């Protein structure tokens, strides 16, 4: 099985060890695992311009690391989104990635 892990922690911390153990366990069970540490990437905030829906369906006008993550997620059998909670919610970084990936997924004609 192909598994993609999105690590939404904004700074190194205890979750790194836990996710490392999960990744090693899945790999030792024969799964192909790829982890994206979102804090190591430049992910711009969605501008709400709808370019990904209207002008270039399925492709965001912002060029950053989101498209690589999106393609990996589309090829995966399972996605794991891991985020510490901050005031009862995911981190702002996890939220930003979620909004960007959602807009690109919804803008792809083959997926709607």
Report the C-alpha gap between 46 and 41 in whole angstroms: 15
- Token code pair at residue 75: 């090829």
Q: pLDDT by residue (tens digit) across 16-63?
A: 999 999 999 999 999 999 999 999 998 888 888 888 778 877 777 888
In contact, 84 and 9? CB cutoff 8 Å: yes
pTM greater than 0.85: no
100 Cβ contact partners less than 8 Å away, ≥ 6 residues apart: 43, 44, 45, 46, 60, 62, 66
């Amino acid at each position: 099985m192909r598994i993609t892990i999105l690590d939404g922690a904004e700074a190194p911390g205890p979750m790194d060890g836990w996710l490392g153990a999960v990744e090693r366990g899945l790999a030792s069970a024969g799964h192909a695992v790829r982890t994206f540490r979102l804090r190591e990437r430049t992910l711009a905030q969605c501008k709400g311009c709808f370019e990904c829906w209207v002008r270039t369906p399925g492709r965001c006008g912002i060029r950053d690391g989101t498209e690589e993550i999106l393609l990996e997620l589309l090829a995966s059998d399972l996605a794991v989104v891991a985020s510490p909670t901050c005031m009862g919610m995911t981190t702002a970084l996890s939220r930003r990635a979620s909004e960007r990936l959602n807009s690109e997924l919804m803008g792809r004609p083959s997926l709607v």
